[in-house]
Amino acid sequence: MSNDTSERQGAVAGIVFAILIVVGFGILIPKPPDTDASAATFATYYVDHQNAIRAGLTVVGIGIFFYLWFLGSLRSTLAAAEGGAGRLASVAYGAGLVGAAFFIVGLTAGETAAFRPDQVSPDVTRAFSDFFIVLGAPAATVFAAFFAAIALVGYRHGAFPGWANGLSALGAIGALPAIGTSLTTTGAFSGDGVLGLFVPVITFVVALVAISVAMLRSPQPSWPPT
pLDDT digits over 138-172, tens only? 999 999 999 999 999 999 999 999 999 999 999 99
> With bands split at pLDDT 50, 70 and 90, how would you rate the model's confidence at 7?
confident
Percentage above 90 pLDDT, the chain: 91
173-196: b or e for each residue (b if 16 or more CB lie within 10 Å)? bbbbbbbbbbeebeeebbbbbebb
What pLDDT sits at residue 222?
44
User: Tell me: the pLDDT tens digits for 109-131?
Assistant: 999 999 999 999 999 999 999 99
Write the CA distances from 3 to 6, 65, 145, 221, integer angstroms.
Answer: 5, 20, 27, 9
- Please, what is the end-to-end C-alpha distance for the chain in angstroms? 21
What pLDDT sits at residue 1?
43
- Cβ neighbours for 97, distance < 8 A, ≥ 6 positions apart: 68, 71
What pLDDT sits at residue 94?
98
What pLDDT sits at residue 5?
74
Instruction: Compute CA 178 distance to the chain's CA centroid, rounded to the nearest angstrom.
Output: 12
161 neighbors 218 (Cβ within 8 angstroms): yes
> With bands split at pLDDT 50, 70 and 90, how would you rate the model's confidence at 8?
confident
Given a cut of 80, whether residue 220 has pLDDT beyond it is no
